[in-house]
Amino acid sequence: MPTSDTSVWLPQIEHPLLRGVADALDLDPADPTAAEEWARRLALSTRHFSRLFKQETGVTFSTWRSLHHVKHALVLLASGHSVTRVAMDLGYGSTSAFIEMFKRCTGRTPGASLAREL
């Protein structure tokens, strides 16, 4: 779902159960906890968690997490962090995996997004 500029649409979460997930990921964007584990922590089935998340945000948990990463990445890149550093800070095992995710969400690489802002 590429965007037309470097701002990233991130669906807001208001549901009380899911708000805790969003708050935890705001505090630690690199948290690798999978949807299955979040569901378990909330005493929900994985299927119910997934349906609830999509109903609340309009996107899957995986897509929301990617958009959340892009939003954090843009802030870090704008403050002078390298793409490699941002990738590692967000928990990616490689810079290329991070760049691929970023491009899938925005339609361009992190470097191109940053250059566009300057």
Q: pLDDT tens digits, the chain, 118 residues: what are they?
A: 444 344 678 988 999 999 999 999 999 999 999 999 999 999 999 999 999 999 999 999 999 999 999 999 999 999 999 999 999 999 999 999 999 999 999 999 998 887 666 5
Q: What pLDDT score was predicted for residue 111?
A: 85
How many whole angstroms from its chain centre is CA 17?
18
Here the tokens at position 112 are 């191109």
* pLDDT at position 8: 77
Cβ neighbours, 10 Å, residue 104: 13
Amino acid type, 26: D
What pLDDT score does 85 carry?
Answer: 97
Amino acid at position 89, single letter: D
Identify whether the C-beta of residue 18 lies closer than 8 Å to the C-beta of residue 52.
Answer: yes
Would you state the pLDDT for residue 5?
42
- pLDDT, residue 115, reads 66
Q: Is 49 exposed, middle or buried (0-12, 13-18, 19+ CB in 10 A)?
A: buried
Q: How confident is the model at residue 82, as a pLDDT? A: 95
For 10: left if phi > 0, alpha if psi spans -120 to 50, otherwise beta; the answer is beta
* Cα–Cα–Cα angle for 51, 57, 63, rounded to 5 degrees: 85
The residues spanned by each domain of the chain are 16-117
pLDDT at position 116 is 66
CATH 3.40.50.1820 corresponds to the domain 16-117: no
Distance between CA 11 and CA 5 in Å, rounded?
Answer: 17
Note the pLDDT of residue 101: 97
